[in-house]
């Protein structure tokens, strides 16, 4: 049986569309999170709060929700096969970037586009981990893997462009993959910045070849999409203007880039 939402996580939750506080109605069937001002309800299904029933998600994002819900059953198998055939780089990226993230015991950690949760085992076991994904079926697979890893985590079915958390909630905010598939990448980055605590560095990883595709959905940056080099040079310019120290670089394996920026103190 899925564990209830920990109280320390529950206090961080907000209506992603109004940022009002939420109260848990445990007597509802299914249980629900209820906006304290609007009364808007969000069901908690199999222990996963779902914030997409009344979503403002774009058509583009709804398509990828549909796609990954149907592909979730085979996702981990495909990734493992790709790693064995050396045509996938997720395992390498975990060693290069995820395992070295600046996280310590007790930190509140958010991973956006968490997928099936495969980054969780390389992080410290005693953190308050939250994972968001637009695909409910991917989250269910992540949830089922937790006992095998002897880990705990709380997952949320939500659009990365509308995160269901209060401002300044997390000590570490990161994302591995997925930015290239989002309808409004700049809005997703702004949300990552919003929920990070002051002084936090936000880290976004994605395939190097996808940088141009990401910029193609931002009208002012289409001129930078003609090759990988120009796209990577332009990536730091799409981070929110109130962020500091934006930079992008290719990881040593050569297949992923890392975009990072800091929330001002």
Residue 54, domain member (yes or no): no
Domain shared by 215 and 157, yes or no: yes
Q: Which two tokens stand for residue 190?
A: 């702004």
Structural domain boundaries, residue 29: 7-49
Domain shared by 141 and 219, yes or no: yes
Domain shared by 258 and 139, yes or no: yes
pTM summary value: 0.91
Question: In terms of DSSP H, where are the helices of the chain?
Answer: 7-10, 59-84, 90-96, 136-149, 185-195, 211-215, 228-234
3-state secondary structure of 74: helix
Domain shared by 121 and 190, yes or no: yes
Residue 1, domain member (yes or no): no
Residue 76, domain member (yes or no): yes
Domain shared by 30 and 91, yes or no: no
Domain shared by 13 and 108, yes or no: no
Domain shared by 33 and 103, yes or no: no
Q: Which CATH number is 170's domain given?
A: 3.40.50.150
CA nearest to 114, candidates 175, 166, 53? 175
Domain shared by 45 and 81, yes or no: no
Residue 2, domain member (yes or no): no
Count other C-beta atoms under 10 Å from residue 219's C-beta: 7
Domain shared by 103 and 34, yes or no: no
Q: How far is CA 196 from CA 12, 37, 168, in A?
A: 12, 25, 5
Q: What angle do CA 3, 7, 9 make, to 5 degrees?
A: 85
Tens of pLDDT along the chain (265 residues)?
677 899 999 999 999 999 999 999 999 999 999 999 999 999 999 999 999 865 556 776 777 777 777 777 667 666 666 555 455 577 888 888 999 999 999 999 999 999 999 999 999 999 999 999 999 999 999 999 999 999 999 999 999 999 999 999 999 999 998 898 888 999 999 999 999 999 999 999 998 888 888 888 777 776 666 677 788 888 999 999 999 999 999 998 888 999 999 999 8
């Amino acid at each position: 049986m899925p564990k209830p939402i920990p109280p320390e996580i529950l206090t961080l939750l907000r209506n992603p569309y109004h940022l009002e506080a939420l109260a848990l109605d445990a007597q509802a069937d299914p249980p629900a999170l209820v906006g304290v001002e609007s009364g808007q309800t969000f069901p908690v299904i199999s222990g996963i709060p779902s914030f997409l029933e009344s979503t403002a998600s774009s058509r583009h994002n709804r398509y990828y929700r549909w796609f990954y819900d149907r592909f979730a059953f085979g996702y981990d198998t495909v990734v493992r096969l790709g790693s064995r055939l050396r045509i996938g780089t997720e395992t390498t990226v975990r060693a290069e970037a995820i395992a070295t993230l600046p996280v310590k015991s007790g930190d509140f950690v958010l991973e956006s586009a968490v997928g099936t949760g495969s980054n969780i085992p390389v992080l410290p076991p005693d953190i308050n981990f939250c994972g968001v994904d637009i695909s409910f079926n991917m989250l269910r697979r992540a949830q089922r893997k937790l006992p095998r890893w002897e880990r705990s985590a709380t997952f949320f079915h939500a659009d990365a462009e509308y995160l269901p958390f209060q401002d300044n909630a997390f000590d570490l905010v990161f994302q591995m993959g997925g930015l290239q598939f989002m309808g409004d990448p700049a809005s997703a980055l702004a949300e990552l910045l919003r929920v990070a605590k002051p002084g936090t560095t936000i880290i976004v990883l994605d395939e190097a070849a996808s940088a141009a595709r990401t910029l193609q959905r931002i009208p002012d940056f289409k001129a930078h999409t003609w090759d990988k080099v120009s796209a990577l040079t332009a990536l730091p310019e799409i981070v929110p203007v109130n962020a500091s120290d934006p930079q992008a670089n290719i990881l040593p394996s050569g297949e992923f880039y890392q975009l990072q920026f800091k929330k001002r103190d």
